[in-house]
Chains A and B, each alone.
Chain A
Amino acid sequence: MDFRLTEEQLALQETLRRFIARDYDFERRRSLARSPLGYSAQAWAQYAELGLLGLPYPEEFGGLGGSGVDVMAVMELVGQGLLLEPYLSTVVLCGGLLRDAAARALKEALLPQIAAGKLKLALAAYEAAGRYELAHVAATAVRDAQGKGWRLSGRKSVVLDAPSADYFLLSARSSGRQTDAEGISLFLVRGDAPGLTLQAYPTQSGGRAADLDLQDVPVDADAVIGAPERALPIIERAVDQGIAALCAEALGIVTALNEATLNYLKTRKQFGTVIGSFQALQHRMADMFIAAEQTRSMAIIAATEAAGDQPAARRRAISGAKAYIGRAARFVGQQAVQLHGAMGVVDELNVGHYFKRLTMIDMTFGDAEHHLARFSDALRVEALGAAP
């Protein structure tokens, strides 16, 4: 076993750290979050130059052939810098999905474009009534009259990074009941396709998202990714990789919050002494330190298992990590705010923004309790065999 990052990974992190210090300080980040685009187009171009946008793709598709741990190294810094660019949606979720499941021609067409920073995608897989269940798909896909392409109708809710996406990867159903695992296909849909409307809004942690409404949106037959009516496993696998990336982002934030809080405990004075001299706060800070170490371990598990093609083993790792980190990060986030007193609840300080981002990470792709339930259900199957 080896738990260290490689020289290259450390160098990559150092590059990003310098980039954040120079081009992405807290004030800059705040003004970007308020801008119409919601992120920095310039930063996106810089990521492309650094190779970050092609990091997890094979070299033949313009990538660097990076691993889950490489992505983890990047996402940790995305967390620390509270970076707003649609890296998760474009590079990890959609690019990852195309890499794992798309036909070769499509990969050749799209992955190099993503790596070059010329193409952005968003995953439209969740629907309001499904909560965190990806198999809940009410949107429909119907063969068009000529029997060549498809017509898509329905709604997708809270599609992250939708407003800036050139394409969507969108799930729709052509058979089965609303909650069946079978019958779901995944389509590549142009952002400007006729019949597709976006209701865009900012998110609580500074990003952008939208609800999608589709009415008879035409797509070609070759816009189907993976096997028709059997797309759920590839969507789940992509989301699992997205979750691993979110876990690493949470790790970056937890680390940053602990650093800020520890610093505050050492400098904020009340009752004639630094508040870090109060034992109640010392123990709290010790618990936060432990939570961060445990978070790192879980983020490593997630990063190394996310690409696994055994769904059961992967679910155990990913749901386990999301559940554990969700709770650990909730604790650290809430306590970082608490220990900053009123300073913790103001918009002017980064602590509150870290806390909000951690909260939104927990709420994305299943909160801690959702994943604990999945983990626990898997445990039951392990013990008793598959449910009747």
Chain B
Amino acid sequence: MDLNYTAEEEAFRAEVRAFLAAELPADIRSKVRLGRRIHKDDFVRWQKILYRRGWGAGMWPRRYGGADWSVVEQHIFDEEGAAAGAPPQIAFALRMVAPVLMSFGTAAQQNYFLPRIISGEHWWCQGYSEPGSGSDLASLRTSAVRAGAHYRVNGQKTWNTLGQYADWIFCLVRTSSDARPQQGISFLLIDMKSPGITLRPIITIDGEHEINDIFFDNVQVPVENLVGEEDKGWTYAKFLLAHERTNNAGIGHCQRALKRLKEIATRQSENGRPLIEDSRFRDRIAELELDLMALEITNLRVLAAVASDSRAPGPEVSLLKIKGSEIIQQLAELQMHALGHDALPYLREALEVDWVPPPWLADHYGAFAPPLTGQYFNYRKTTIYAGSTEIQKNIISKLILGL
């Protein structure tokens, strides 16, 4: 047992920190730190900067342009990035479709898509869920019918995150309905500019546009855009899900939220004194910090075990998803509670980083209050998406505990 970082790891941390200090654009940094809206251009700009440094996808193998980072190196990078106010790298491309392409894609697919993913040229979104198929994804009905050199795709995907920015979407579609539902599913890559695709924005309870319905009406997709074999898409989807969930602990993100919570509680006052002096409020922060301390190590333990056996992540990643999502929700809840009555105002315009608070609102509301209530509402999603908490607990109880 040794919880210390090696000298090389410490050196790596110093390198990451120096890089962030020099290269992270100040405007992006303040949006992230203040919880203001981050736009497409911000994400892409940052991805391009990382790419130029050779860190566009640190965990990828070198032959695809990655840096072959270990689990610990990735952790250090996430932690430093979050602390510095770097935006998250969008997972759909880097951590979802890319690993699938590396394992199951054709050389042509790899050669075309992977360089464009890592450079930030292509934005990807995920087309899995449908109105009738959420937790029970295998029941999906969007159909792809082979017609010569194309598939003709019809149906509806929903809850699609940031599809309004996307160049490409990876979809699960039904290519056969003869056998068990899992067996007739295929994994298709679809150009979002294809005729027949329409997007309908879905506004979430925080008033923001983050998700969409996507309708496919006789969309022609070249057969070259099939990944792996027809009807075998479920295997790739499960592989992808396991990769997705390894990132769901979001330790760096939680650490930043915890730090922010402490700042807020220090600056908010209660009957004229800093709120952090109220031991009852402080205890609630402390309890969350303990949960996060434990999860940081659990996360590294689980990921290290996966790495050392060089296997795909298994059902144990479910616990990272459950805990990570619960902790970020509770942090958001406490941040909002720190505000007292300042949790009530809803100033949409205040979510832009260049918002200037009106005179006397500034001293109590301006600095940190604007995003917090909406964020609390929005983060209810974290225990719903990417496999709900209930589904993850089913996985743990069946696949790990054998119940």
Contact = CB atoms under 8 A, between A and B. Distances in A.
Given A203-B346, A348-B203, A211 B272 contact: no
Interface in A9-38: none
Contacts of A353: 205
B364 A128 contact: yes
B32 to A, nearest CB: 22
A323 to B, nearest CB: 12
Q: Chain A interface: which size bin? A: 35 or more
Contacts of B344: 158, 160, 203-205, 209, 360, 363-364
B399 to A, nearest CB: 16
A78 interface: no
Contact of A128 (B139, B202, B342, B346): B342
Contacts, number: 159
Given A201-B347, A204-B345, A342-B385, A359 B377 contact: yes
Interface string A213-249: 1000000000000000000000000000000000000
Interface in B193-245: 202-205, 207, 211
A28 B390 CA distance: 35
A157 interface: yes
Interface stretch (B36-44, B115-123, B129-137, B310-318): B129-137
A126 B271 CA distance: 10
A347 B134 contact: no
Contact of B343 (A204, A338, A347): A204
Interface in B276-297: 280-281, 284
A278 interface: yes
Interface string B368-385: 000001101110110111
Contacts of A155: 360
B380 A199 contact: no
B126 interface: no
A156 to B, nearest CB: 10
B131 to A, nearest CB: 9
A369 B129 CA distance: 38
A245 to B, nearest CB: 17
Q: Chain B interface: which size bin? A: 35 or more
A270 B358 contact: no
Interface string B53-79: 000000000000000000000000000
B269 A129 contact: yes
Contacts of A43: none
A308 interface: no
Interface string A326-365: 0000000010011001101111100011011001100110
A369 B280 contact: yes
A260 interface: no
Contact of A363 (B129, B211, B280, B343): B343
Contacts of A157: 341-342, 364-365
Contact of B269 (A131, A205, A272, A338): A131
A347 B378 CA distance: 11
Specify the main secondary structure of chain A where it touches its partner.
mixed
B336 interface: yes
A38 to B, nearest CB: 11
Contacts of B134: 270, 341-342
Contacts of B393: 280
Contact of B271 (A131, A364, A369): A131
Contacts of A211: 360-361, 365
Contacts of B390: 278, 280-281
B277 to A, nearest CB: 12
Contacts of B336: 359, 363
Contact of A199 (B139, B339, B358, B373): B358
Interface in A168-202: 178-179, 199, 201-202
Nearest to B364: A128
A369 B337 contact: yes
A270 B275 CA distance: 45
B341 A204 contact: no
10 contacts: A128-B365, A130-B269, A131-B270, A133-B270, A136-B272, A178-B272, A345-B378, A347-B202, A352-B377, A369-B281
Interface of B: 129, 132-136, 139, 158-159, 202-205, 207, 211, 268-272, 275, 280-281, 284, 336-337, 339-347, 358-361, 363-365, 373-374, 376-378, 380-381, 383-385, 388-390, 393-394
Which 9 A-B pairs give the minimum distances between C-beta atoms?
A128-B364, A352-B205, A270-B136, A158-B341, A133-B271, A347-B203, A131-B270, A131-B340, A363-B343
